Amino acid sequence: MADVDIAPEFSHVFRSLSRPIKSTNAVIFGQDPYPTRGHAHGLAFSVDQSVTALPPSLRNIFTELSSDLGVTRRSGDLSDWFDQGVLLVNRVLTTQTGFSLVHSNFGWQEVTDAVAHELGRHDVVAILWGKSAGELSRYFRPEWRIESVHPSPLSAYRGFFGSKPFSRCNAILMAHQKSAIDW
């Protein structure tokens, strides 16, 4: 598999897993990387700062962020969330450029199950969007879990919009004497 054929680029495949668990306050699980060349950069739902036409799911996330907290974002690069301890990890860590879910049978779910299992043993808020992420709910205590449908245009109006995941996450963190995230 050549570097140019996968998303994200090989050097970014494990980017989301590069921080210590003890510095993780929240985790947002995605499905698989954006298949558009140049979009995926190793953080779920995030795109490289050079991307100006944001993917529809990310636009919906920003719509909910604005509705929930009044925060307006222009850049789709969520590295600042990651730097604050928000793990942004996909269930499937790679895909073939141009195609979604092509690598769903590579065993990535075993890796992300292990990540969820370990995170669930710590005080980490799990934000689980969609069916794929919801499969991990068993690893997290109910009081540390926020679940809704996926932010994609196909499902956002069936429970993602209005779910207030950002304020709910901060409320959980602050109730446990942890710092809120500057979304």
**Which residues are designated catalytic?**
32
Residue 141's Cβ-count burial label (10 Å; 0-12, 13-18, 19+) is exposed
Burial status of residue 164 (CB atoms within 10 A of its CB: 0-12, 13-18, 19 or more): middle
Q: Look at residue 62 and give its three-state secondary structure.
A: helix
Sequence-ordered alpha helix ranges (H) in 24-107:
56-69, 79-83
3-state secondary structure of 79: helix
Amino acid in the structure at residue 169: C
Please give the helix or strand (H or E) that residue 27 lies within, else none: strand 26-30
CA dihedral 43, 48, 52, 57 (to 10 degrees): -10
For 160, residues 6+ apart whose C-beta sits below 8 A from its C-beta are 60, 64, 129, 148, 149, 150, 151
